[in-house]
Amino acid sequence: MAEQNPAHAAGGPVPGRPGSVAPQVPEPSEPGGPLPPKPDQEGPETVGPTGQPTGSGQDRRAQGGPWLTTAQGTRLYDTDHSLKAGPRGPVLLQDHHLREKVMHFDHERIPERVVHARGAGAHGVFLGYGTATEICKAGFLAKDVETPVFVRFSTVLGSRGSADTVRDTRGFATKFYTDEGTFDLVGNNIPVFFIQDAVKFPDVIHAGKPHPDREIPQAQSAHDTFWDFVSLHTEAAHHTLWNMSDRGIPRSYRMMEGFGVHTFRMVSASGGTALVKFHWKPKLGVHSLVWEEAQLLGGVDPDFHRRDLFDVIEAGAFPQWELGVQVFPDTPEQAFEGIDLLDSTKLVPEELSPVQPIGLLTLTANTKNFFAETEQVAFHVGHLVPGIDVTDDPLLAGRLFSYLDTQITRLGGPNFAQLPINRPHTAVNDMLRDGMHQTAVHTGVAPYHPNSLDGGCPFLAGAQTGAYVETPVAVPAASKVREAPLSYADHFTQPRQFWLSMSEPEREHIVAAYTFELGKCYEQTVKERQLGVLANIDPVLCARVAEGLGLPAPEAAVPLADPEPSPALSQVGGAWPVDGRTVGIVTDGTGDLSQVRAVRDAAVAAGMLPLVIGPSGGTVGSDGDALAVQRTFATARSVEYDALLFAGVPAPAADAAGGGDAKAALPQADGADPRMVLLLGEAYRHGKALGGWDGAVRLLEAAGVPAGAEGIALGSDGTEAFDRLARMLPGHRVWRRFGAD
């Protein structure tokens, strides 16, 4: 028998039902205490229309019992042959299994997200430090409170099947399943946005997506419409500069920062308010690919980031980020040090307002089913919990509308909150009813409030009983206008600050990125207009890009500002944990394999992922001394590794360099497979730590690496070479090879 609703028990018999008298309905806004969740609020996998549990086990809707069945649970004896009139006869219309199987297949796909279609997700846990409690009453931020989370990373422009390593902004969306309701922090890896007002969002996306006539290029900003838009809307200069920097091509999701971008309002238990900006700080530091690597990876391993995330979680090297906030006084101006906090194209330098850590995110589990979890997860900036409120940023206002709206098309109706990945981990007792894909079996007769027929249930909570109460912020008396405030008009000071904060190698990368992207445009006017934008950021930047394009560099059209550089914006420098770094150990099977083993073991002990690369699959070495090979010269490209060590290059011999055409086309080190030389040459060009022993020096020569080059770890044996290599990895790249100090 279904559990009796305690409200009914308290109120006595219900009118309209046999033997009922009018109940004593308590004042709905002041219930005596919180009600337990109604048993009928659950999906059909736990309760059927009869109120009885259905199936058994956790996945009751699917994969229950050992037998193959139809969707109705009827067991099948064959699923490989249509029902036919004889083995060679026509297929019969009455084949209900064929019909059901193909019908379902026909509808397996749902529309991809209109932006952020390509992504990867993982489960984890958030640990509150308690350091935010003074300014925020949200329970999940309290000390030692653990909250389950689901995080989805994404690119913005590409389709679901596009490559991970394209130059683009990355999404960083986190769903906190808190005890007070679900909180979504839907951010990016760049702290500022393209536009200041959501009304332009369709425009900037139309400009960035492939051209409508031929639907190319895929997942790229290197085309005319994108640069046409951003050169005409100069508020985009800041975000675009971040895109053209190394931030646009992260090494992995676990080496990206995340930002809430907008300013939010935090509310304390005593009702005090503060303005905050959210930051995710990766424990492994912020690191990027170099452009050539990113391009090669698009072909070699388009799933590079997705694979990295999945593999490190499987290996137990759980990625971690600290959540932090920059805190600003909640003044009527909503500005800090002259920076308008409601303008999402501006950041507040960390040197002016340090990021204060408030909790730790650890990703601990991969998805079991990509579609059910990563594809169906629905984030929304309006999923807020008591203690966190929105501000009047016009970009945020549009988002508050958009995220619910888009799910109706994408997830096929208004009941997407009932999908397992979207279900809150707290009691739900809403008055939302029916609609497409309704899976709850609601009982009761009065889904409205107040009511007397369901015993007044559900009741309204108050501030003391955990209700979400909007902050009563004063709205200034004003006229309705389609205008931006004057403070939104400065589009160049902060991009200039970003440029001035970069190290020389980072500047070189930025120049190369603009030159590449604009070089892919056909329209001369677009290139010239964008050079005009760059001139307003910095004359050197403009001149260097103009030179690459073969165009004259224009003069700045605005006076150049003189902002203080913000060292926190640069990625170069510092030492970071090396967990999960991939070290390739290249051997052709000759030489002392015990050295390879020693290096492999040392790398594992250091928390890295060593992979032995050999001439072919299987093993290298003699029977008694065989060593397993994880990658082959045919399957390995340097771009998949953070560092490479070379072992076992045989001594020169008159006939040792032979081989097929592919070998002949590449530079030769006597006796070495030319594909080793290719691996080495690329790794050198990409600033990676590399080295080796036992003949590796001849490979370096063959690859054209200058004697005494930076970041080469040579050793008399494997252990010595590895020790030298391991000292370079915390810096991510050998920046000195690119001219950094």
Contact assessment for residue 365 and residue 122, using Cβ atoms and an 8 Å cutoff = yes
| Stretch in the footprint of ligand HDD (CB under 6 A) among 3-11, 45-53, 373-381, 454-462 | 373-381
| Stretch in the footprint of ligand HDD (CB under 6 A) among 183-191, 283-291, 413-421, 485-493 | 183-191
| Stretch in the footprint of ligand HDD (CB under 6 A) among 281-289, 372-380, 417-425, 532-540 | 372-380
How far from the centroid of its chain's Cα atoms is residue 358's Cα? 20
Dihedral angle, C-alpha 540, 544, 545, 550, nearest 10 °: 130
CA distance 414 to 417: 8
Q: Considering only residues 10, 28, 46, 201, which one is a binding residue for ligand HDD as defined by CB under 6 A?
A: 201
Question: Is residue 734 close enough to count as binding ligand HDD by CB under 6 A?
Answer: no
| Stretch in the footprint of ligand HDD (CB under 6 A) among 26-34, 142-150, 371-379, 498-506 | 371-379
| Stretch in the footprint of ligand HDD (CB under 6 A) among 160-168, 182-190, 240-248, 706-714 | 182-190
Least Cβ distance, residue 264 to ligand HDD (angstroms): 12
- Compose the 481-520 pattern: x for residues touching ligand HDD by CB under 6 A, - for all others: ----------------------------------------
> Looking at residue 48, what DSSP letter applies?
-
- Compose the 16-35 pattern: x for residues touching ligand HDD by CB under 6 A, - for all others: --------------------
On whether 637 is known to bind a ligand per the annotation, the reply is: no
On whether 399 is known to bind a ligand per the annotation, the reply is: yes
CA distance 256 to 282: 6
Q: Considering only residues 379, 693, 735, 738, which one is a binding residue for ligand HDD as defined by CB under 6 A?
A: 379
Q: Where are the alpha helices (DSSP H) in 438-523?
A: 493-501, 504-519
Count each helix (H run) and each strand (E run) in the chain, helices first: 18, 20
Provide the edge-to-edge strand list for the sheet that holds 582-587. 631-632, 609-614, 582-587, 643-647, 689-692, 712-714
Dihedral angle, C-alpha 678, 255, 575, 725, nearest 10 °: -20
Instruction: Compute how many residues bind ligand HDD; rule: CB under 6 A.
Output: 27
Which candidate in 188, 189, 415, 536 is catalytic? Answer: 188
Per-residue exposure over 111-139, b if at least 16 CB sit within 10 Å of its own CB, e if not: ebbebbbbbbbbbbebbbbebbbebbbbb
Contact assessment for residue 287 and residue 249, using Cβ atoms and an 8 Å cutoff = no
Least Cβ distance, residue 120 to ligand HDD (angstroms): 10
Interface of this chain with ligand HDD, residues 329 to 358, rule: CB under 6 A: 344
Residue type at position 567:
P
Contact assessment for residue 449 and residue 28, using Cβ atoms and an 8 Å cutoff = yes
Q: CB neighbours (10 Å) of residue 196?
A: 25
Least Cβ distance, residue 234 to ligand HDD (angstroms): 18
Residue type at position 211:
H
Q: Considering only residues 147, 155, 402, 415, which one is a binding residue for ligand HDD as defined by CB under 6 A?
A: 402
| Stretch in the footprint of ligand HDD (CB under 6 A) among 46-54, 85-93, 374-382, 639-647 | 374-382
Q: Is 211 a catalytic residue?
A: no
Please tell me whether the peptide bond between 386 and the residue prior to it is cis, using omega within 30 degrees of 0.
no
Interface of this chain with ligand HDD, residues 65 to 124, rule: CB under 6 A: 113-116, 119
Question: Is residue 171 close enough to count as binding ligand HDD by CB under 6 A?
Answer: yes
* Residues recorded for the chain: 741
How far from the centroid of its chain's Cα atoms is residue 560's Cα? 35
Least Cβ distance, residue 344 to ligand HDD (angstroms): 5
On whether 152 is known to bind a ligand per the annotation, the reply is: yes
Interface of this chain with ligand HDD, residues 216 to 245, rule: CB under 6 A: none
Please identify, using beta-carbon distances, which residue of 124 and 171 lies nearer to ligand HDD.
Answer: 171
Q: Considering only residues 310, 370, 403, 516, which one is a binding residue for ligand HDD as defined by CB under 6 A?
A: 403
- Compose the 129-168 pattern: x for residues touching ligand HDD by CB under 6 A, - for all others: -----------------------x-x--------------
Please identify, using beta-carbon distances, which residue of 116 and 732 lies nearer to ligand HDD.
Answer: 116
Residue 32 burial (10 A CB sphere; 0-12, 13-18, 19+): exposed
| Stretch in the footprint of ligand HDD (CB under 6 A) among 267-275, 359-367, 402-410, 417-425 | 402-410
CA distance 596 to 585: 7
Q: Where are the alpha helices (DSSP H) in 616-673?
A: 661-664
Please identify, using beta-carbon distances, which residue of 118 and 509 lies nearer to ligand HDD.
Answer: 118
Please identify, using beta-carbon distances, which residue of 262 and 600 lies nearer to ligand HDD.
Answer: 262
On whether 403 is known to bind a ligand per the annotation, the reply is: yes
Least Cβ distance, residue 406 to ligand HDD (angstroms): 4
319 closest CA partner among 355, 285, 282 = 282
| Stretch in the footprint of ligand HDD (CB under 6 A) among 91-99, 181-189, 559-567, 577-585 | 181-189
Contact assessment for residue 240 and residue 230, using Cβ atoms and an 8 Å cutoff = yes
Tell me the three state secondary structure of residue 275: strand
> Looking at residue 247, what DSSP letter applies?
G
User: Which residue of this chain has its Cβ atom nearest to ligand HDD in the complex?
Assistant: 171
Question: Is residue 647 close enough to count as binding ligand HDD by CB under 6 A?
Answer: no
Please identify, using beta-carbon distances, which residue of 5 and 418 lies nearer to ligand HDD.
Answer: 418
Query: Residue 97: CB partners within 8 Å, gap ≥ 6?
Result: 70, 76, 79, 83
Which candidate in 97, 116, 305, 491 is catalytic? Answer: 116
> What stretch of H or E contains 584?
strand 582-587
728 closest CA partner among 570, 578, 521, 557 = 578
> What stretch of H or E contains 128?
strand 119-128
On whether 410 is known to bind a ligand per the annotation, the reply is: yes
Structure token pair of residue 512: 């190369």
Interface of this chain with ligand HDD, residues 257 to 316, rule: CB under 6 A: 261-262
Query: Residue 173: CB partners within 8 Å, gap ≥ 6?
Result: 116, 151, 152, 153, 154, 184, 185, 186, 187, 379
Q: Considering only residues 406, 630, 632, 668, which one is a binding residue for ligand HDD as defined by CB under 6 A?
A: 406
Please identify, using beta-carbon distances, which residue of 369 and 524 lies nearer to ligand HDD.
Answer: 369
On whether 684 is known to bind a ligand per the annotation, the reply is: no
Given the structure tokens 């084949």, which residue do they identify?
95
CA distance 208 to 217: 9
Question: Is residue 254 close enough to count as binding ligand HDD by CB under 6 A?
Answer: no
Please identify, using beta-carbon distances, which residue of 124 and 695 lies nearer to ligand HDD.
Answer: 124
Q: Is 116 a catalytic residue?
A: yes
Question: Is residue 187 close enough to count as binding ligand HDD by CB under 6 A?
Answer: yes
Please identify, using beta-carbon distances, which residue of 186 and 678 lies nearer to ligand HDD.
Answer: 186
- Compose the 381-400 pattern: x for residues touching ligand HDD by CB under 6 A, - for all others: --------------x--xx-
Which phi and psi angles does 75 have, rounded to 5°? -70, 145
Query: Residue 500: CB partners within 8 Å, gap ≥ 6?
Result: 538, 563, 565
Please identify, using beta-carbon distances, which residue of 187 and 456 lies nearer to ligand HDD.
Answer: 187
Least Cβ distance, residue 408 to ligand HDD (angstroms): 11
CA distance 605 to 513: 38
Rule CB under 6 A: which residues touch ligand HDD? 113-116, 119, 152, 154, 171, 173, 186-188, 193, 198, 201, 261-262, 344, 377-379, 395, 398-399, 402-403, 406
Instruction: Give me the active site residues, please.
Output: 116, 188
The annotated binding site is made up of: 113, 152, 201, 399, 403, 410
The annotated binding site for heme is made up of: 113, 152, 201, 399, 403, 410
